[in-house]
C-alpha cells in the first residue's frame, strides 16, 4: 500500500517504516511539524518524501492520522473525505489530558478506526462508537549493548521542564540523592537548573539531545534506567533501554505497571522504594547486569517488531476494507434506486409483473 502519514513521533516511526509498504512523508523546505519528511532518520528507501501539493496525484491507499488537525489538512490535499472516500486510521499516541475519564476522543463519531498504543489509553479515552483496536509498541532490536560501566542513572525526557509533572522529571531530584543522574532529550540542558538541582548541588546533569545511535551508546554505559512518568503512554525510550540490557526503575503508572515485570528492575508507586533500588544498582553492578538481562528478555518477548508490523498490516487492511464495503453498499443502493425509478411503481390492478421485477432486482444486487 501507499501510506500517507506525517513525521510526528520519530521513535514510533522507526518501527512503522520497517513494514512492507510505501510510506509517503510530507516534506517542505521549511520542515517543521507539517513538512519534516524523513527528518534525517536512517529509514529504509520505502519511506519517501513527497511535496504536499503532489499528494493528490500520489495514489494514496490509506492515511494514518496522528493529530486531530491532520484530518482537515489531509482531506484538502487529497480532495476527498477520510473514512468515506479515502481509507484512514487514527493513531492515538497519548493519554487524555483533561476531564479524565470523560474526555471524548476527537475522532469519535467520524467513522474512522482508532488505534491506541496501550490498553490503558483505550480504557481511559471515551471512544464512543469509534472502532478501536490496541497495537502494542514494536521496537527494532538494537542488540545487547549494556556495559553499565558508569555508576550513573539515565532518563529520557523531551521538554522535561515544560512537561515536568507529566514526565515526572521533578522526581529525578529524588534519584539524584542516591547518585548521579543524566537526563537526555529535547531541552535536557534546561532541566538541572530549572528543577533546582544546580542550586541544591544535586548530581543531576544533562546528557544532551543526541541522535538515536549516539543515545543508545550513551545509555548502555549507565548503570540503570529511570522512568518516572506520571501520565504518559508507555515510553519507547524505556523499552529501548530494556532491550539494550539496562535494568529499569519504573513508576507504576498507566500501562507500565502491567508491561514491566518486577524481575526487570523495580516497578512501584513508592518513590523512596525506587530510589533504594537505584542505590542498590549503583553499589552492585553484578545485580544490575543480571536484572538488565531479564529486562532485555521481557522487552523482546513483549514488544517484538514482527508482531507490531503484522498488527498494523491488519489495521490498514481493515481500514481499506471498510471504505470498499461502504462503496459497494452505496453502489447497490444506487442501482436498486435506479431500477425502481425506471421500472415504475407496482400495479394496483392485480398485475404482479412489475412488483416481481423489483423483487428480483433487489435480490440479485
- Name residue, grid cell 473525505: 81
Predicted local distance difference test score (pLDDT) of residue 129: 93
Predicted local distance difference test score (pLDDT) of residue 322: 92
For residue 131 the three cell numbers come to 472502532
pLDDT tens string, the chain, 365 residues long: the values are 999 999 999 999 999 999 999 999 999 999 999 999 999 999 999 999 999 999 999 999 999 999 999 999 999 999 999 999 999 999 999 999 988 999 999 999 999 999 999 999 999 999 999 999 999 999 999 999 999 999 999 999 999 999 999 999 999 999 999 999 999 999 999 999 999 988 889 999 999 999 999 999 999 999 999 999 999 999 999 999 999 999 999 999 999 989 999 999 999 999 999 999 999 999 999 999 999 999 999 999 999 999 999 999 999 999 999 998 887 877 666 556 665 555 555 444 444 433 333 233 333 33
Domain ranges of the chain: 1-138+304-365, 150-303
- Show the CA angle centred on residue 206, arms to residues 203 and 212, nearest 5°: 135
Can you give the chain as a three-state secondary structure string? CEEECCCCCHHHHHHHCCCCCEEEEEECCCCHHHCECCCCCCCCCCEEEECHHHHHHCCCCEEEECCCCHHHHHHHHHCCCECCCECEEEEECCCCCCCCCCCECCCCCCCCCEEECCHHHHHHCECCCCCEEECCCCCCCCCCCCCCCEEEEEEECCCCCCCHHHHCHHHHHHHHCCCCEEEECCCHHHHHHHCCHHHHCCCEEEEECCCHHHHHHHHHHEEEEEECCCCCCCCHHHHHHHHHCCCEEEECCCCHHHHCCHHHEEEECCHHHHHHHHHHHHHCHHHHHHHHHHHHHHHHHHCCHHHHHHHHHHHHHHHHHHHHHHHHHHHHHHHHHHHHHHHCCCCCCCCCHHHHHHHHHHHHC
Predicted local distance difference test score (pLDDT) of residue 329: 78
pTM: 0.87
Predicted local distance difference test score (pLDDT) of residue 359: 31
The separation between CA 56 and the C-alpha centre of its own chain, rounded to angstroms, equals: 26
For residue 168 the three cell numbers come to 515526572
By the 8 A CB rule, do 161 and 190 touch? yes
Which class in CATH covers the domain with range 150-303? alpha beta
Which class in CATH covers the domain with range 1-138+304-365? alpha beta
Amino acid at each position: 500500500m501507499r501510506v500517507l502519514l506525517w513525521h510526528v513521533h520519530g521513535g514510533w516511526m522507526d518501527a512503522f517504516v520497517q513494514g512492507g509498504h510505501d510510506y509517503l512523508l510530507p516534506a517542505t523546505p521549511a520542515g517543521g511539524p507539517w513538512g519534516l519528511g524523513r527528518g534525517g532518520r536512517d529509514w529504509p528507501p520505502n519511506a519517501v518524501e513527497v511535496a504536499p501539493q503532489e499528494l493528490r496525484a500520489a495514489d494514496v491507499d490509506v492515511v494514518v492520522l496522528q493529530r486531530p488537525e491532520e484530518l482537515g489538512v489531509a482531506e484538502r490535499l487529497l480532495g476527498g473525505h477520510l473514512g468515506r472516500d479515502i481509507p484512514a486510521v487514527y493513531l492515538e499516541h497519548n493519554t487524555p489530558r483533561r476531564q479524565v475519564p470523560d474526555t471524548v476522543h476527537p475522532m469519535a463519531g467520524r467513522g474512522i478506526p482508532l488505534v491506541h498504543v496501550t490498553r490503558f489509553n483505550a480504557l481511559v479515552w471515551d471512544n464512543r462508537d469509534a472502532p478501536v483496536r490496541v497495537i502494542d509498541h514494536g521496537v527494532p532490536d538494537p542488540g545487547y549493548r549494556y556495559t553499565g560501566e558508569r555508576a550513573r542513572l539515565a532518563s529520557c525526557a523531551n521538554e522535561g521542564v515544560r512537561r515536568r509533572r507529566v514526565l515526572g522529571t521533578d522526581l529525578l531530584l529524588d534519584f539524584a540523592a542516591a547518585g548521579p543522574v543524566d537526563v537526555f532529550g529535547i531541552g535536557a540542558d534546561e532541566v538541572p537548573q530549572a528543577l533546582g538541582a544546580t542550586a541544591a548541588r544535586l548530581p543531576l546533569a544533562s546528557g544532551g539531545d543526541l541522535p538515536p545511535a549516539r543515545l543508545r551508546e550513551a545509555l548502555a554505559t549507565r548503570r540503570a534506567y529511570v522512568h518516572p512518568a506520571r501520565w504518559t503512554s508507555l515510553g519507547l525510550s524505556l523499552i529501548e533501554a530494556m532491550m539494550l540490557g539496562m535494568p529499569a526503575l519504573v513508576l507504576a503508572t498507566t500501562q507500565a505497571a502491567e508491561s514491566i515485570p518486577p524481575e526487570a528492575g523495580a516497578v512501584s508507586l513508592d518513590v523512596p522504594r525506587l530510589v533504594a533500588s537505584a542505590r542498590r544498582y549503583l553499589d552492585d553492578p553484578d545485580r544490575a547486569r543480571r536484572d538488565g538481562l531479564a529486562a532485555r528478555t521481557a522487552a523482546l518477548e513483549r514488544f517484538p517488531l514482527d508482531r507490531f508490523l503484522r498488527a498494523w498490516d491488519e489495521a490498514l487492511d481493515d481500514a481499506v476494507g471498510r471504505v470498499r464495503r461502504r462503496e459497494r453498499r452505496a453502489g447497490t443502493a444506487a442501482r436498486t434506486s435506479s431500477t425502481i425509478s425506471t421500472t415504475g411503481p407496482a400495479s394496483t390492478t392485480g398485475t404482479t409483473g412489475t412488483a416481481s421485477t423489483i423483487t428480483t432486482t433487489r435480490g440479485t444486487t
